[in-house]
């Protein structure tokens, strides 16, 4: 199962961070609108990410809710009919939340840097260091911390929950 190391943080000024990333990122900025619907799932998290009426992906993932770097295991499956898939999964499992965001993606080496404007929640940065199959998690954690430091993201900005959980709690 693919895995990565993730860090998520609240950001005050995404424009400043984007300008900084643009000076050293390998790719980006790439803007992506995402509409994520979460479904009840006891074994982890199951979400349908719709990019448009004809493009989406179903994502299952497991990761701990903790501050700082965390290892995430995931499986992604593309869909050409996200609306009907959303309806089927909603009927089968029930929805547990929905997150709409504008994501700006930068690639720094093997790390995906997401600058997110989340509807009704605010501005965030997410780092995802993609790990090799046999690579120890600590290598990705080290890389994530180095990039966090390079971007000037303080430990006090880190969050431990998914956007959907923050929205459920009413935690803007």
pLDDT digits (tens, 9 = 90+) for 96-112: 999 999 999 999 999 99
pLDDT given for residue 165 in this prediction: 92
| CATH number of the domain within which 38 lies | 2.40.320.10
Using alpha carbons, select from 138, 133, 141 the residue that is nearest to residue 158. Answer: 141
Segment 37-65, tens digit of pLDDT: 999 999 999 999 999 999 999 999 999 88
Angle, vertex CA 25, rays to CA 21 and CA 30, nearest 5: 80
Number of domains in the chain: 1
pLDDT at 85 over 70: yes
pTM of the model: 0.92
pLDDT given for residue 172 in this prediction: 60
What percentage of residues in the chain have a pLDDT greater than 70? 99
Question: What's the sign of the alpha-carbon dihedral 167, 38, 126, 161?
Answer: positive
| Residue range of the domain that includes 111 | 3-169
């Amino acid at each position: 199962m693919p895995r990565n190391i993730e860090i998520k943080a609240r950001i005050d000024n995404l424009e400043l961070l984007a300008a900084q990333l643009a000076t050293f990122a390998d790719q980006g900025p790439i803007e992506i609108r995402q509409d994520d619907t979460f479904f009840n799932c006891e074994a982890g998290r199951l979400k349908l990410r719709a990019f448009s009426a004809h493009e989406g992906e179903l994502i299952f993932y497991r990761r701990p809710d903790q501050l700082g770097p965390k290892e995430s295991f995931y499986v992604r499956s593309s869909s050409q009919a996200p609306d009907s898939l959303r309806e089927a999964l909603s009927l089968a499992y029930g929805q547990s939340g929905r997150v709409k965001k504008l994501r700006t993606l930068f690639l720094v080496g093997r790390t995906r840097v997401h600058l997110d404007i989340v509807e009704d929640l605010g501005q965030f940065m997410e780092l995802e260091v993609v790990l090799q199959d046999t690579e120890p998690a600590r290598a990705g954690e080290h890389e994530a911390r180095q990039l966090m430091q390079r971007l000037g993201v303080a430990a006090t900005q880190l969050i431990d929950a998914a956007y959907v959980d923050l929205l459920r709690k009413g935690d803007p």
